[in-house]
């Protein structure tokens, strides 16, 4: 996917989000707070994935193909993440949860790429131990 098509996708997403937000009745704060756990969990997971991505990048253990794959999955994850937030804010809890699952699926794919790179690095460093179980 080239930069022009990615930019077009973001512009379309912003248009859809703007339209959805202008038509949605906001969910009351107390109801919103009751449903925050899934999105907060995703944010924590993204922080962990970014940590391992940065670590592997600094160690020179992520090739261009994996970098591109991680970026592509992150871009799709981000669209689902934003959509989930918009759906929750509008009170569409079922749609919110569906978008959370889609976002989590993209994070699963990112995690698989990172775990593969971590295991390859561990094999090349005979005896090194990385906490792959914490991801």
Range of the domain at 45: 26-124
What's the pLDDT tens digit per position in 94-135? 999 999 999 999 999 999 999 998 887 766 554 444 455 455
> What single-letter DSSP state applies at residue 125?
T
Computed on alpha carbons and rounded to an integer, the radius of gyration of the chain in Å comes to: 18
What's the pLDDT tens digit per position in 59-93? 888 989 999 999 999 999 999 999 999 999 999 99
Q: How far apart are CA 112 and CA 116, in angstroms?
A: 6
112, part of any domain? yes
104, part of any domain? yes
What's the pLDDT at 6? Answer: 65
* Number of independent structural domains in the chain: 1
103, part of any domain? yes
88, part of any domain? yes
75, part of any domain? yes
Q: Please provide the distance, in angstroms rounded to a whole number, between the alpha carbons at the two ends of the chain.
A: 28
Q: How far apart are CA 101 and CA 22, in angstroms?
A: 25
């Amino acid at each position: 996917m080239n930069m022009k098509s990615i930019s077009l996708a973001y512009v379309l997403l912003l248009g859809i989000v703007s339209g959805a937000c202008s038509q949605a009745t906001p969910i009351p704060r107390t109801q919103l707070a009751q449903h925050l756990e899934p999105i907060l969990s995703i944010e924590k997971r993204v922080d962990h994935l970014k940590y391992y991505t940065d670590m592997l990048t600094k160690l020179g253990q992520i090739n261009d193909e994996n970098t591109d794959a991680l970026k592509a999955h992150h871009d799709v994850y981000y669209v689902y993440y934003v959509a989930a937030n918009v759906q929750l804010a509008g009170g569409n809890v079922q749609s919110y949860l569906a978008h959370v699952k889609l976002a989590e699926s993209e994070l699963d794919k990112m995690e698989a790429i990172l775990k593969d790179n971590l295991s390859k690095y561990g094999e090349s460093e005979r005896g090194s131990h990385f906490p792959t179980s914490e991801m």
